[in-house]
């Protein structure tokens, strides 16, 4: 059976790295396990955000990002954001992402998040040929390093640094327990179909999103007061 060696491997990896992680005021005041959310803390992993079997989302009232980490090696991510296009400022691209999988705390201080393949995202790109759709989202993420500080008013605050050293918005701890959907594959991605859109882009769709196509995915409405928080994402083009 394949499951056993995989579990053994994950266990070995996390127990090895646990020795290397120093819990002190200068580095990590608490373990990373728990539920974390940025900004106004409305973007939270778990059943209040995503329903993978239906490929739907409950859109939070503000943009942001949420992570959960369990002590048995699972992570979950929830992300809701809008990004402006520098050359076409009116083409604001909205993305909603849900994914989960296994994380590894590497001894050198990095974190590697490896998805199990059932993640999905909604992309709303008003200026693109296909303006609002749902597609698979299965990207491995590497965080170069991470730190948890004790904020006098907000409590434990997790800082994740991307592969290029740039920080993710600070994440506040909502709970020391992870708020997660079941730790198993939650969506049948073998039912995927690959289509070519009229502008020549190849996209992977799922049967569920095809069924919804006629009514299209629900419209994303930018929450009020978020224009100042717009980020320009060069990466978006690779996601479309
Ligand atoms: C957004 O705010 C409204 C009004 O306060 C509330 O009824 C609704 O449940 C909130 N939605 C979410 C997803 O939190
Ligand atoms: C998702 O990505 C992981 C890591 O690269 C890979 O092992 C897995 O096979 C992928 N799953 C699917 C369904 O593409
Ligand atoms: C830590 O190790 C991982 C896996 O080998 C590697 O991808 C990552 O770049 C390393 N991080 C640093 C900070 O060297
Ligand atoms: C996934 O969908 C495919 C195609 O519809 C079907 O043949 C298969 O049995 C499904 N698998 C599961 C685990 O539901
Ligand atoms: C921004 O708009 C330009 C011009 O329409 C387009 O070529 C480019 O792909 C867009 N970039 C993104 C990230 O959407």
- Residue with CA at minimum distance from ligand 4 atom 12: 188
Give the pLDDT confidence of 105-139 residue by residue, as tens digits.
988 889 999 999 999 999 988 887 778 889 999 99
Give the pLDDT confidence of 46-85 residue by residue, as tens digits.
999 999 999 999 999 999 999 999 999 999 999 999 998 7
Residue with token string 């050198």: 108
Residues framing ligand 5 (Cβ under 6 A): 85, 87-88, 91, 93, 236-237
Determine whether the shortest distance from the Cβ of 189 to ligand 2 is under 6 A. yes
180 φ/ψ angles, rounded to the nearest 5 degrees: -135, 155
Residue with token string 């079997």: 53
Number of H helices, E strands in the chain: 3, 14
Q: Which of 82, 83, 84, 85 to mutate for ligand 5's pocket (most ligand atoms within 8 Å of CB)? A: 85
* CA–centroid distance, residue 226 to ligand 4 (Å): 40
pTM of the model: 0.78
Q: Output 90 or 57, whichever has higher pLDDT.
A: 57
Buried b (16+ CB within 10 A) or exposed e, 66-105: bbbbbeebbbbbbbbbbbbbeeeeeebbbbbbbbbbbbbb
Residue 196 has pLDDT above 60, yes or no: no
Calculate the average pLDDT of the chain: 79
Pick from 107, 103, 134, 101: nearest CA to 120 = 134
- Provide the pLDDT for residue 214: 41
- Provide the pLDDT for residue 22: 66
């Amino acid at each position: 059976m394949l499951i056993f060696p995989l579990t053994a491997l994950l266990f070995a990896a996390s127990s090895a790295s646990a020795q290397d992680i120093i819990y002190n005021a200068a580095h990590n005041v608490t373990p990373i396990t728990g539920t974390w959310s940025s900004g106004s803390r409305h973007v939270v992993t778990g059943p209040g955000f995503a329903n993978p079997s239906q490929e739907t989302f409950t859109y939070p009232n503000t943009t942001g990002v949420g992570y959960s980490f369990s002590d048995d090696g699972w992570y979950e991510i929830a992300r809701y954001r809008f990004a402006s296009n520098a050359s076409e400022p009116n083409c604001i691209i909205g993305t909603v992402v849900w994914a989960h999988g296994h994380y590894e705390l590497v001894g050198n201080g990095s974190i590697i998040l490896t998805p199990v393949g059932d993640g999905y995202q909604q992309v709303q790109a008003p200026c693109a040929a296909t303006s609002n759709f749902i597609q698979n989202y299965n990207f491995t993420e590497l965080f170069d390093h991470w730190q948890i500080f004790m904020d006098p008013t907000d409590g434990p605050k997790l800082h994740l640094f991307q592969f290029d050293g740039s920080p993710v918005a600070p994440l506040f701890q909502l709970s020391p327990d992870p708020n997660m959907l079941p730790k198993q594959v939650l969506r049948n991605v073998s039912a995927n179909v690959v289509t070519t859109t009229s502008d020549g882009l190849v996209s992977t769709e799922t049967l569920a999103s095809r069924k919804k196509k006629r009514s299209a995915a629900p419209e994303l409405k930018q929450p009020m007061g978020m224009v100042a928080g717009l980020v320009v994402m060069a990466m978006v083009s690779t996601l479309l």
